[in-house]
Structure 1
Amino acid sequence: MRVVYWIALGFLFLFQGCRTPFDPEIPARNNSLLVVEGYLDTEGKKSELKLSKTVSLGSETTFSPEVNASVQLVSSNGQTFGLEETAPGTYIFESDIEESNTYILEIILRNGDRFQSESLQPIITPEILDIGFQKDEEGVEVFISTKGDDNADDFLWTYEEAWIYRPRIRVPYIYDERIRDVRDRSDEEQIALCFKRERSPDILLETSSRFQEQVVFKKTITEIPTGNERIMERYSILVSQKAIEQDAVKFWEILKKNTEDIGSIFSPLPSLIGGNVYSVDDQSIPVIGQVSLGVVRERRIYINLTDVSPWGYLDPQFNNCIIEQEAVLKEFYDPIFTNPEVLPARPLIPPGGTVILGYFATDKRCADCTLYASRVKPDFWEDE
C-alpha cells in the first residue's frame, strides 16, 4: 500500500509541474479591430447600430465604444440618411426608406478612417403568427411561431424583458425630520414598486425551409425557471423578429459558436468572424461586423403570477428580513429613524385604540426596491 501511495503522489507532482500559464502572443494590430453590429428597420422604427473596438485579453473592460463617428446610410438613388449617436458607441436610425432600393452604410471614425458595408438589400420580414407561453414542472417557456417565404427564409430573434420587482417588506411610511414624525410616503417617495429591464444575450436563429411549408412552430425564445424573480408579480417580453440574408446567417452562427460553445477542452476553437463591412482605404485591415436592413416585426406579451401559480418565488438576498417585535416609541424616533438604514414599517396601535404610539422597524435592505431596481415605470408598461 505504501508503494501505491508514493506512486500516486509522484504522478500528482508530475502533473502539477507540467502545468504552465498560457499567455498567447497576439499581434498588436489585431488588438483593436472595429466592431459593427446592427439591424436597421426600414419603416421608421427606432433601431440601433453599435460601433466599438475589440479589447486585449486580460483587459479590465469588455466594451470599448467607438464615439463621435460619422455614420450615414446612402441609397442607390443618392439619398442619405444620417444616424445620430445617442450614447457612447450607439447610433440611432429612425427613417422610413424605400425597400426596393439598395443601400450602403458609410462610417467615418473620428481619426478619419473610413469603412463601408457591402450593398444592402432590405428584406420584408413576414409577420409573427403567434407568440405565447406554456408552463411545465421546470418553469415557463416563451415561444414564437412564424412562416417564411421565398424572400425571407432565415430568421434572427432578439428580445427585451421587463418585470415588476418588489422588496420582501412593503413600507408605506417615512420618517420626516422636518416635522420629527412618521408620515405616509408620497407617490414620489414610494419604494415598494420597482421595475427591472434586460436585453437578451442569446443569439436565436432558425431557417424556415427546414420545416414543412416553411412554418416555424413554437420556436423557444426563452425559458424562465420555476421560482425565478421575473414572474414574482407581472412580466413582459418584447420579441423582435428579423429576416436576414444567408451571409448574415453565417456571421451569426460563427458568433454564436464563439460566444456560447467555448468553455472546455472539447469545445471548438474561436473562429474568424468577418461580415459585410470593410475598410475603404486598406481592405487588408480586418473588420468584425454585420449590418442588415429590413422590416422588424415585434410582439409583446405579459405573464402574470396568477397565470403560472404556484410559482414558489423566494429571493435569498432577503433572508433574515423581519419586522422587529419591539416597537419604537415616538420619543425615540430620533435617533433610531434618523438612521437611513432603519425604516418604520408598521404602526403600533393599542387594541380598540386609534392613536399611533410608535412604529415597528425594519432594515432598509428588506424594504427599499430602489436598491435593486428602478422606480421608473417603462413607457410601454400596461397594468392588468
Structure 2
Amino acid sequence: MQVSNSCVEEFEFGTQNFEDVLVVDSRITDELKPQEVGLSRTFRLENEEPQPEPGATVSIVDDQQNVYSFSETEAGNYVSDIAFRAMPDVSYQLQITTDGGESYTSKQVRLPQTTQIDDLYAEPIVNDDGEEGIGIFVDTFDPSGNADFYRYEYEETFQIIAPFWSNQDINVISRTPPVYEVVQREREERVCYKSEFSNRIILNETTGLNENNVERFMVNFVPTSDFKIRDRYSILVKQFVQSQEAYEFFELLKDFSDLESLLSQIQPGFVTGNLTSVNRPDDKVLGFFEVTSVSEKRIFINRRELFPRADRPAFPLNCTLTRIDNDNPQRIVDAVELRGLKLVQVGTNGVVLVFKSCSDCTVLGSNIRPDFWED
C-alpha cells in the first residue's frame, strides 16, 4: 500500500521485514498532574508483548527555558518529577536519550484550543447491524471556532452483583473425618465493581461545518445483551482537542491498526510521527509527542430506565446449583474443598452450593467501591 502524503511509506508484512525501532507514547495535557512518557520497542508478530525501553533519560523543554525532568517508575514508564500542565502560547519539545546513547527529539508543539464537553448522554438505539443497545453520545460547542479535531477515550465502570450470594458460608474443619460448620461471611462479596478502558482510536472532526459543533457523536455502543449493563453502569468520557498533525497521525494509525496496543504492535513504516533521531536522522522512530487540552464528563445508567421491558443480560458464567443431603457430609466437604463451591442456602435436609464465581463477586471485580460511584 502506498499513501502519497509522505506520512506512510510502502511496507510489506512479515517477520522477515522486522525492524527494531523505538516506540514513543507521549501526551501532555492542560491538566495539572504528573505527566507520563512510555518507551518501548517494536516486536515481532509472533511475540505477545512489547519490550519496554528502560534506562532512558527523558525530559520536556518549553520555549520559556523550563525543563521538566522525568524518572522511570517501572520499566519503560517515565513520570515527570513534578506535576505540571501545558499552557497556552507555549511550545513544548520532548527529548529522549536511551541507555544506549541514542538521542531523539520531537518537533515544537503547542497546546490547541480548549473546548469543554457540553453534554454526555445515553439513548436506546439500534446500530447499523440491527443490534439493540445503548448509544453514548457527546455534544460540544467551540465558540472560538478554532477547535476542529477531536479524539475520545472512555473508562467504563460497572456494578457486579453476585446472583447467588449468601451471608453464610461453609468452613471446613476436617476432611477426614468430614467436619464442617456454617459461619457468617466476613467480607463484602455480594457487590463489586469493575473498570475497563477503551482500546480503540475514536476520532471526530468539524472541518467543513458552518459551526464547530460536535453534535450527537457516538463514542460507545453497549448492546442490551452485554453483561456490563446487567446492573448499574457508568462511563467517563474524555475529549482531547488535537492539532491537525496529531489528528492525521491517529487517523492513519486507526486505518492500519485494530489492536489493543495502539503503537507497539504496529510494524515501523506505517506511520511517521513528529519524532526524529538526533544521531541518525534517517532512522525510524514510531510515535507522536502530543500536547492537548482535555475535558471530561461522567454519567450513570440504569438499563431498566432505557429498556424497561428487555430481559436482564445473562450472568456470564455457569451458575448450576448443587444440592447435597445432610447425611452425606463427606460430599459436602469435598465440594467445598476440592471444587471450591460456596454456600447458597442451608435447609433442614441439606445444603445448596454453587460455583464461587456466582456467589463471590470478587472473582470478577473489586469489592472496593469507587470514590466517584453514585447509587
> TM bucket by the smaller chain?
0.7 to 0.9
Partner of 1:306: 304
1:330, distance to aligned residue in structure 2 (A):
9.5
2:364 matched residue in structure 1? 372
Quote how far apart the aligned CAs of 1:23 are.
Answer: 8.1
What residue is the counterpart of 1:161 in the other structure?
156
Structure showing the higher strand proportion among its residues: 2
Q: Residue 67 in 1 paired to residue 54 in 2?
A: yes
Structure 1 residue 358, shift from structure 2 partner: 5.2
Q: 2:181 is matched with which residue?
A: 181
* Aligned position for 2:25: 37
In the alignment, which residue of structure 2 is the partner of 1:7? none
Render the CA deviation track for 1:16-51: whole Å, top value 9, x for unaligned: xxxxxx984644xx5221111232113314554322
Distance 1:26 1:154, change over 3 A: same
Distance 1:307 1:91, change over 3 A: farther
Q: 1:52 aligns with which of 37, 40, 60?
A: 40
Shift of 1:57: 2.6
Note the C-alpha offset of 1:326.
Answer: 4.1
Output the CA distance in 2 between the equivalents of 1:246 and 1:147: 18
Using a 3 Å threshold, how does the CA distance of structure 1 residues 339 and 260 change in structure 2: closer, same or farther?
Answer: closer
2:67 is matched with which residue? 80
Cα deviation, residue 200, structure 1: 0.8
Do 2:28 and 2:85's aligned partners in 1 also have CA atoms closer than 8 Å? Answer: no
Cα shift readout 1:201-231 (whole Å, capped 9, x = no counterpart): 1211122233231111011101001110111
Which residue number corresponds to residue 139 of structure 2?
A: 145
CA distance in 1, matches of 2:235, 2:226: 15
> Which deviates more, 240-249 or 369-378?
369-378
Cα RMSD (Å) of the superposition?
A: 2.8
For 2:355, the equivalent position in structure 1 comes to 363
| In structure 2, distance between residues paired with 1:301 and 1:236 | 6
Contact 2:24 2:37 in 1 (8 A): yes
Give the deviation of 1:74 after TM superposition: 0.8
Which moved further from structure 2: 102-111 or 308-317?
Answer: 308-317
SS at match of 2:255: helix
Find the aligned partners of 2:230 and 2:34 in 1 and give their Cα distance: 30
1:212 partner amino acid: N
* SS of residue matched to 1:359: strand
Residue number in structure 1 paired with 2:295: 297
Asked whether 1:345 is paired with 2:332, we answer no
Q: What percentage of residue pairs aligned between the two structures are identical?
A: 26
Which structure carries more helix by proportion? 1
Looking at structure 1, the residues matched to 180 and 61 of structure 2 have their Cα atoms a distance apart, in angstroms, of 64
Go from structure 1 to structure 2 and tell me whether the alpha carbon gap of 1:184 and 1:176 turns closer, same or farther (over 3 Å shift). Answer: same
CA contact (8 A) 1:340 1:364 kept: no
**Whole-angstrom distance in 1 between the partners of 2:248 and 2:323:** 62
Q: Give the CA deviation at 1:95.
A: 1.1
Alpha-carbon contact 2:324-2:350 (below 8 Å) kept = no
Secondary structure of residue in 2 paired with 1:295: strand
Q: Distance in 1 between matches of 2:14 and 2:352?
A: 60
Judged with a 3 Å threshold, the aligned counterparts in structure 2 of structure 1 residues 316 and 375 are, in CA distance, closer, same or farther, namely closer
Q: Which residue is 1:134 aligned to? A: 123
Q: Please, which moves more after superposition, 217-226 or 49-58?
A: 49-58
Which of 81, 102, 106 in structure 2 is aligned with 1:113? 102
Gap regions ≥5 residues in structure 1: 1-21, 262-268, 350-356
Counterpart CA distance in 2 for 1:214 and 1:245 is 14
Query: Once the 2 structures are TM-superposed, how far is the Cα of residue 271 of structure 1 from its aligned partner?
Result: 6.7
Structure 1 counterpart of 2:129: none
**d(CA) in 1 for partners of 2:202, 2:219:** 7
CA-CA distance at 1:314 after TM superposition: 3.7
Is the aligned partner of 1:125 residue 2:117?
A: no
Give the superposition deviation at 1:242.
0.9
> 1:64 is matched by which residue type in structure 2?
Q
TM-superposed CA distance for 1:131, in Å, is 0.7
1:270/1:279 CA distance change after superposition, 3 Å: closer
CA deviations over 1:238-287 (Å, ceiling 9, x no partner): 111111111111111110100149xxxxxxx9972010111111111101
**Larger relative contact order (Cα-Cα within 8 Å, sequence gap ≥ 6):** 2
Render the CA deviation track for 1:141-188: whole Å, top value 9, x for unaligned. Answer: 00101124443221111111111123442232222346941112123x
Aligned residues: 342
Can you give the 5+ residue segments of structure 2 that lack an aligned partner in the other structure?
1-11, 127-131, 174-178, 260-266
State whether residues 147 and 208 of structure 1, in contact with CA within 8 Å, keep that contact through their aligned partners in structure 2.
no
- CA deviation after TM superposition for structure 1 residue 120, in Å: 1.2
The Cα of 1:340 is off from its aligned counterpart by: 5.5
Counterpart position of 2:213? 215
**Which of 360, 375, 383 pairs up with 2:374?**
383
Instruction: Specify the code of the residue in structure 2 equivalent to 1:176.
Output: N
2:251 and 2:345 mapped to 1: Cα distance? Answer: 55
Q: Which amino acid aligns with 1:324?
A: T
Question: Matches of 1:25 and 1:383 in 2, distance apart?
Answer: 49
Could you list the per-position Cα deviations for residues 70-100 of structure 1 after superposition, in whole angstroms to 9, with x for gaps in the alignment? 2211111211112343443333353135332
Equivalent position SS for 1:210: coil
Give the partner amino acid of 1:41.
Answer: T
